[in-house]
Amino acid sequence: MRNTLRRPWHPLPAGQALAFPMDDGSGDSLAGTLHRPPDPATDRPLVLLIHGLAGSEDSPYIRAAAGAALSHGHAVLRLNLRGAGPFVGRTRQRYHAGRTADVRAVLAHLARDLPDVAAAGVVVVGYSLAGNMVLKLMGEGEALPPVVRAAVAVSAPIDLSATSRRFLRPRNRPYHLWLLRQMKAETLATPAEPGSAEAGRQAAVRRARTIYAFDNDYVAPANGWRDAEEYYRVNSARRFMSAITRPTLVIHALDDPWIAPEPYLDFDWAAHPALLPLIVTKGGHVGFHAAQENGGAILGGGWLDRCLVRFLETLA
């Protein structure tokens, strides 16, 4: 029997594999794939696509967005966060919802080493966890690199604590457990030296039964925070959004099963003209299924990628 739930692949033209060494003394690198359009336009910014939790540059929504941007003349970089994609099990540290320093390092590499593709600037696009990261990046004031022209955040958990609590709802249990398994696998893929602090934290990862416990016993101590609540408070995008001054499209669906709607509904969008909220009633989490002409449905692409392209057109 054919598997009708198989995720779409979204074929892309061949790209250039890149590695971005981090300058924090860890020896870690981030990996990505750069695609140049067949007919490049010098006035169109590079589109930097960043995946969500337990994703990679090959997540279907990343590949779909890459195809849409390429077809409209934009160069595209599909980036893997630290410890994701080709570097699972090959880094000393891992990404988290607020690790904007890694994105800034990649942007610095692009501006310095690939000036031709970054000549018209960069539009940073983040999905889910990376959506929170991108909004935080955009609101970090003078730390935001000048090469960034604009940003897009899709289904971002702008209140990390509220999102973690929402995962505990009974209806979310299947996805919660699946996601926790993926997070554990990514983390435990890097062997820890016996008796080290990391070995102790990895033991806590094995014991974790919820994402909150994972964040509390692994992410927080591994990055210098007291507990999960401090990690959430310091890194939630909501506290940075009022400082955003460059064009930023925020796409979110109020029926997202994993992200509470209140942080979006309570935010004073009118007081922050650089933020363009596209908040709809239905769409799920990075879903936004679009109807085909024959009445079928497509996954990824469709409405969400048309919104991305329209936003990019406003920057030309």
Catalytic positions are 128, 256, 285
Distance CA 38, CA 61 (A): 22
CA atoms within 13 A on the CB side of 144: 22
Dihedral sign for Cα 103, 81, 308, 10, please. positive
Contact call for residues 93 and 222 (beta carbons, < 8 A): yes
Task: State the burial class of residue 227 (Cβ atoms within 10 Å of its Cβ: 0-12, 13-18, 19+).
Answer: middle
Query: φ and ψ at 73, to 5 degrees?
Result: 85, 10
Contact call for residues 140 and 134 (beta carbons, < 8 A): no
Contact call for residues 49 and 79 (beta carbons, < 8 A): yes
| Residue 270 structure tokens | 């009118």
Query: Cα separations (Å) of 232 from 95, 129, 157, 225, 238?
Result: 14, 12, 10, 10, 11
Contact call for residues 251 and 155 (beta carbons, < 8 A): yes
Distance CA 29, CA 22 (A): 5
Task: Show the CA angle centred on residue 60, arms to residues 58 and 61, nearest 5°.
Answer: 110
Give, as one character, the DSSP assignment of residue 72.
T
Distance CA 196, CA 209 (A): 23
